[in-house]
Structure 1
Amino acid sequence: MDRPVRTGKESDEARARILGAAEERFRRVGHHRTSVADIAAELGMSPANIYRFFPSRNAINESICGRLMNQVAEIAFAIARTDAPAGEKLDQLLTVVHHHSKRCWPRQSPCTS
């Protein structure tokens, strides 16, 4: 079902708060055990209010995955810009991505389900 999604500065702030709460909840109890109602409860709002900013739970998942991928891309670009040999860069990248993933997603990630 397509719902209108709010935009603007205040909406961006609300979306960021929702994503932060969802991401924290995913880390704490896991992606599959988190509902929109759980995210809303963390923020003291109704699930209907969440849907004013995201058309679906899947849209929340996609936004979190996008943020994670952007973080990994920034790390990769920083490593690529170093003067280290290619093999060393690859080793650094794999190590950092592994540690980043474990820190961000101690439980199953919404990006892999």
Structure 2
Amino acid sequence: MTKSITSPVSVRGPADHDVRDQIVAAATEHFSHYGYEKTTVSDLAKAIGFSKAYIYKFFQSKQAIGEVICAHCLNQIETEIRTAVEDAERAPEKLRRMFSVGVQASLRLFFRDRKLYEIASSAAGGRWHAVLVYEERIQGMITDILQEGRRTGDFERKTPVDEATMAIYLVMRPYLDPLLLQHNFDYADAAPAQLSSLVLRSLSP
């Protein structure tokens, strides 16, 4: 497994300050209309009616604002996956649902708004903190499913858990990473069932 990631997103000011929510809301709207790359902190300042210096009291950079938006999107995907997994009774079905729901949620969020998709692409390409945390949590879910499957006798026990976790994550990654997903869109319908079946056969005791 990867080392736990603890460094925070670069935000400033009181954590519960309403101004931060205003800035994020304005940024989301601007990014949706004009794109992440074309929007500047000055643009956001004009939209909210604040000075650029005031915005910098709450966020260190445009990327820090993008991190918050990206983290929100990734948290939505994670929540959908986790809910689907928890509703399944046995480990093999949990893994199948993880593949299926993960792909569906990623497609819906990353392709619903092409402008906001730019943030996800920038985040993935730049290995932003929000992306690293998301990857760590997804791998954590895989580990939990593997360990449960081993306890119930559904999965083999010879392969080191961390090795099996990373292998399964790498199989899923083309459909979770926005930079890779855009190149695998044509296979997204069939991939969850086919890949999860292949993985489950490899995990058979």
* Short-chain TM bin: 0.7 to 0.9
User: Which one of 47, 57, 78 corresponds to residue 42 of structure 1?
Assistant: 47
For 2:83 and 2:97, the matched residues in 1 are separated by 13
Deviates more, 1:26-35 or 1:59-68: 59-68
Whose helix proportion is higher, 1 or 2? Answer: 2
Contact 1:36 1:57 in 2 (8 A): yes
1:32-62 CA-to-partner distances (Å, cap 9, x unmatched) read 1110011111211111111111111121122
Contact 2:73 2:109 in 1 (8 A): no
Matched-pair identity in %: 26
Contact 1:72 1:97 in 2 (8 A): yes
What 5-or-longer segments of structure 1 have no aligned partner? none
Amino acid at match of 2:34: V
- Using structure 1 for the length normalisation, give the TM-score: 0.79
For 2:54 and 2:80, the matched residues in 1 are separated by 34
Q: Which residue of 2 aligns with 1:98?
A: 107
For 1:88 and 1:63, the matched residues in 2 are separated by 27
Contact 2:24 2:68 in 1 (8 A): yes
Contact 1:80 1:89 in 2 (8 A): yes
For 2:70 and 2:99, the matched residues in 1 are separated by 22
For 2:32 and 2:44, the matched residues in 1 are separated by 12
Within-5 A mapping of 1:61-100: 61-83=66-88, 85=93, 86-100=95-109
Q: Structure 1 residues 80 and 88 mapped into 2: Cα distance closer, same or farther (>3 Å)? A: closer
Over aligned residues, Cα RMSD in angstroms?
2.1
Amino acid at match of 1:6: G
* Bigger-Rg structure (1/2): 2
